[in-house]
Amino acid sequence: MKKYKELNPSLRTIMTPGPVEVDPRVLRAMSFPILGQFDPEFTSLMNETMELVRDVFQTNNQWSYPVDGTSRSGLEAVLVSIIQPGDKVLVPIYGRFGHLLVEIAERCGADVVHIETEWGGVFDPETVIEAIHEHKPGIVAMVHGETSTGQMQPLAEIGRTCRELDILLVVDAVATIGGVPVETDNWMLDAVMGGTQKCISVPSGMAPITYNDRIERKLLSRKRVERGLRDPANVELANDGQMIRSNYFDLSQIQDYWSAARLNHHTEATSMLYALHEGLRILLEEGLEARFLRHELNARALVQGVKGMGLTLFGNEESKLTCVTCINIPEGIDGEAVRSRLLHDFGIEIASSFGPLKGKIWRIGTMGFSCNQKNVLHTLGALEAVLIREGYRLPAGEAVQAALDVYSVVNKEGISC
Ligand SMILES: *Cc1c(COP(=O)(O)O)cnc(C)c1O
């Protein structure tokens, strides 16, 4: 048999908008022994995980649990479970992930209407509200933090309008959850879908979601009732909707698996659940406020450093997404050559971008475990060195000094980053 080398991945500094570095305590949790999925030890871990998810999503929703799969599994599970063919869905787009919501909604058979604003900004909430009045959708789906453009959409006013008009508002908070406030209940969001590998800093492979009773009513109206096992209480509900077009992503079944009834659906991803439980525990131990502040301060230091070396930011700074910093690639510089040198000479990974922004901007993530003073200073120092190597003229030394200025004020206040 061919001999394969022992797995030995390099130790990187990961400054992309996901996946990011993971706390060794989370990695250790993933190596713990397997428990059976109905073992009381495991089911109590599932219950605790639901409590942790509620706290991070700032909600009292009973249904707050992870879907197994990458973040888009959460998006797809919610959309396929609530959209009936022909339902009108409004998607306001301000970057790549808005297009993903359109694609998924279309595959669910929705009648999708979208509005789009130029990449690099967000919507004035009034613009979305006008579109809601004009198109009268049953569902509005939108992105909270656009990783592709580094922008964050304010949601509270849109949430209030949707509630008043009895429209379901579902939100992709994959990039924001655990890094900036996501106030599910206060903003009146009906369903919120998160991800693990960004600010929560757990490996990719689960999608924590939460949804309220307005969503649950829709699920139950579409619940598939097994012949012979009919629950009389469900028959009427089961008959007025159309069957959910997915087995794996059928939230009406998945919630029965997470409920006290523990009706078998899939086999829970044991080691990922350990990881999520530990990652959320670490997150809440740090505290939501402290964590949001850490994300903000490191991003501020990064931004000051980037400007200090004479580079400019892409996008509207007023609506900047804290945990993703987009930088215009200077004229005459090969963006991919810079990324490659950063990776190979310094072991640092930063991201490029998609679609119309490909080759035009770099994106630097400051998320979760990767979001710290050491990583920000290393990245700035390395980026400066690489840019000089690539022939870009800049005020040498200014970047790290500008970031250190931010940290020295912060550290004096007793805040560690
Ligand atoms: C990363 C990301 C996704 C997709 O996540 P996967 O884990 O790759 O499926 C969706 N939406 C947003 C806003 C993201 O940042």
Give the per-residue pLDDT at 241: 80
* Residue in 53, 107, 40, 64 with CA at minimum distance from that of residue 216: 64
Q: What is the pLDDT of residues 3-51, one digit of tens each?
A: 999 999 999 999 999 999 999 999 999 999 999 999 999 999 999 999 9
Q: How far is the CA of 266 from the centre of ligand 1 (A)?
A: 23
Q: How far is the CA of 172 from the centre of ligand 1 (A)?
A: 8
**Listed residue (198, 260, 221, 225) closest to 74, CA to CA:** 198
For residue 233, the model assigns a pLDDT of: 58
DSSP states along 46-92: HHHHHHHHHHHTT---SEEEEEESSHHHHHHHHHHHHPPTT-EEEEE
The predicted structure's pLDDT at residue 415: 87
97, 102, 171: which to mutate for ligand 1, most atoms within 8 A of CB?
97
Report the pLDDT value the prediction gives residue 1, as an integer from 0 to 100. 74
Residues 370 and 343: beta-carbon distance below 8 Å: no
Task: Extract the residue ranges of the chain whose pLDDT is less than 50.
Answer: none
Write out residues with Cβ below 6 Å of ligand 1: 18, 70-72, 97, 143, 145, 147, 172, 174-175, 195, 204
At 229 the pLDDT is 54
pTM (two decimals)? 0.96
Strands (E), 121-214: 139-143, 145-146, 151-152, 168-172, 191-193, 206-211
